[in-house]
Amino acid sequence: MPLSFTSFAIVGAGTIGRPIAQSLSTKGVSVVVLSHSEGKSVDGIKTVVVNTSDVNAVSKALKDHKVEVVISTLGQAGIIAVQSIIAEGSRAAGVKLFVPSEWGMPTHGYTNGLFKVKVDQLAYIQSLGLATVVIYVGYFMGTVRSPTAFDINGKVNIVGNIAATGSFTAESDAASFTAHILTTLPPYQLANKVFRIEGQHGSMIDVATALKTTVVKDLLLERAVLDGTKPEGLRVGDRLLLGVLTTSGPGTFGRHWQRESA
Ligand SMILES: NC(=O)c1ccc[n+]([C@@H]2O[C@H](COP(=O)([O-])OP(=O)(O)OC[C@H]3O[C@@H](n4cnc5c(N)ncnc54)[C@H](OP(=O)(O)O)[C@@H]3O)[C@@H](O)[C@H]2O)c1
């Protein structure tokens, strides 16, 4: 049994995949990015274009590069479309550890939406006999504007308890943490474990301060979001739901969803 893993594949190289690939590449280990499209590359890191809908193609690419650890950083559409196929290809290739695309708040216990998809994916990947590592990082600092609907009206739009707090981590810190644990811990300390990193703990008021704006607690908006409707003329997306989670408690990853709802 090796002391730690030395060969990694990252599936997807977007908001979180790119910095993880870059962090791993500084660790003196083998790193390859599996991409489904030409032209997507991370400087200095080998990119392999593969049909991620084809188990055999995925398996071959992983075997060719003697990959021990697969790190999925797929976004929502990719998770739904191909993450289970990539897990099947990983098992066929003899991959030792699979990191499913979580990279946010704890999803355990959720029964609907993307979080439920992530819960089901984890169960499926483990049912294949693959060891997993789940990494929760809270909200990405770099994209926090979106869940607060900042881009709609230049304010941090609050729904729920204005004083409640959440967990925020810079993408670069989440990536460094991921690269560190995956390249230093022995396999038995990673297999089927859950890790959590929190860069900063704060309220939506802190978020507004960081964005140099103010908080708006809009009752019309609140009712619309909680009812699942949209007020006329206001483009409220699903993303605001994350603001609801933060302000109602479960956005703090130190808390557990099941405890929240108990
Ligand atoms: N904590 C937070 O605040 C936060 C915020 C956003 C996301 N997240 C979570 O972080 C994870 C990754 O999200 P992200 O924002 O980093 O995603 P992203 O920026 O959209 O990147 C996704 C990557 O997956 C690739 N991809 C998509 N479909 C694929 C397929 N069929 N085969 C292979 N690659 C495919 C994309 O390539 P192309 O561009 O070529 O399609 C892209 O490189 C998700 O679990 C998401 O829920 C967390």
Beta carbon of 143 within 6 Å of any ligand 1 atom: yes
* In 96-203, alpha helices (H): 113-127, 150-153, 171-184, 187-190
Look up residue 125 and give its two tokens: 């990947």
| Contact indicator for 73, 13 with CB cutoff of 8 Å | yes
Question: What domains appear along the chain, each with residue ranges and CATH number?
Answer: 7-139+169-196 (3.40.50.720), 142-166+200-257 (no CATH)
Using CA of residue 203, residue 245, residue 102, residue 44, what is the dihedral sign? Answer: negative
Rounded distance between C-alpha atoms, residue 199 and residue 192, angstroms: 23
Beta carbon of 78 within 6 Å of any ligand 1 atom: yes
213 or 112, higher pLDDT: 213
Once rounded to an integer, what is the mean pLDDT over residues 84-102? 98
At 131-189, the pLDDT tens digits run 999 999 988 888 877 777 787 778 887 766 677 777 889 999 999 999 999 999 999 99
Beta carbon of 150 within 6 Å of any ligand 1 atom: no
Q: What is the pTM of this model?
A: 0.89
In the block, tokens 């693959």 appear at 130
Report the separation in Å between the CA atom of 108 and the middle of ligand 1, taken as the mean of its atom positions: 20
The pLDDT, as a whole number, for residue 62 is 98
At 143-157, the pLDDT tens digits run 877 777 787 778 887
At 191-242, the pLDDT tens digits run 999 999 989 888 878 888 888 988 877 666 666 656 666 555 444 444 444 4
The pLDDT, as a whole number, for residue 235 is 46
